[in-house]
Structure 1
Amino acid sequence: MIEFTPATASDLPKIVAIYNETIPTHQATADLQPQTVAEKQAWFAAHNNHFPAWMIQVDHKIVGWLTLSAYSDRSAYDQTAEISLYLDVAARGHHVGSAALAFVDREAPKHDLTTVLARIFGHNQASRNLFTKFGYDHWGHLPAIAILPEGEADLEVYGKHFKSRA
């Protein structure tokens, strides 16, 4: 059973550990060095009822996390969030990502969010396919914007509009 529970400050070490697992793969983040809990505290503190963070559990074991973060600090973007979804290596390929995006479909309007954006490396075909499967459209292409150890990487922007509950 896949469950989503609100993330708390005590979850931050697990969030950072899962995030750091992805850094060496160069598939999901442009960070090149592991992050510390202290470095992520301000980022985590920016999440609230409007821009929430959740832990993902399978059979009561934490396997990932999901956030809807502020896209911009400019007020015209208050209803726009950027999604981050990170899964433990063992949870990948087991439909947890699909469950997470289905969860976001239900939750985004409850948090008065009308737009969710995803930034995905062009070479991360699995994530691109997942977001496309859940109705995210390809909204942008930023060629050779990231410099990774293996070379330049494109960034693709996917987006989806939701109706606010208001």
Structure 2
Amino acid sequence: MKSTTRGTLAAVLLAAAAGAAAATPAAAAETVPVPVPLEGAETALGMELPKVGGEIPLPMPGAPDGPRYVEGSLVPDRALPQLPVGAGLPGLGMRTPIPRVLGDEFDHVALDAPAGDVRALGPGATLDLPLTPPNPDNFGLPDPKLPAAGVVTPVLQAVPAADLGLGEGL
């Protein structure tokens, strides 16, 4: 192999590796953290402020189901397939100090609502032609029938969760 060919091959491999390395973290991330910086306001006001942060999920489209052939129909079961989308509910984490009734120490109230999974299927459509498959009793000709059309309803599944608690310290 010539040195120019080896150099070109090495450059292509390095570019592919760099592209894959750059694309991997973005594709692997399911949520994006969103911190709320309040440290400057704490210093300016001279008091404890809540610690707040959140998570925003990234929607990830999936592959649609292929057509499903049904016996006795000339058109597949789902003419327009449903598109699955996986994402999540946004998350929230918050800790805020509350003064004790007796004493100068602070207690805190914490709310933790992690990002939850959401699975969705978009709407789909079904239809059927106004003809049956070839009928051997009718010399191989199809029989007429009423046409059919329908909408496959969208589906949404989620399990949200949250945790609210009280504690000592901040």
Q: Aligning the two structures, in what range does the TM-score lie when normalised by the shorter sequence?
A: under 0.3
- TM-score of the pair, normalised by structure 1: 0.23
Greater helix percent: which structure? Answer: 1
- TM-score of the pair, normalised by structure 2: 0.23
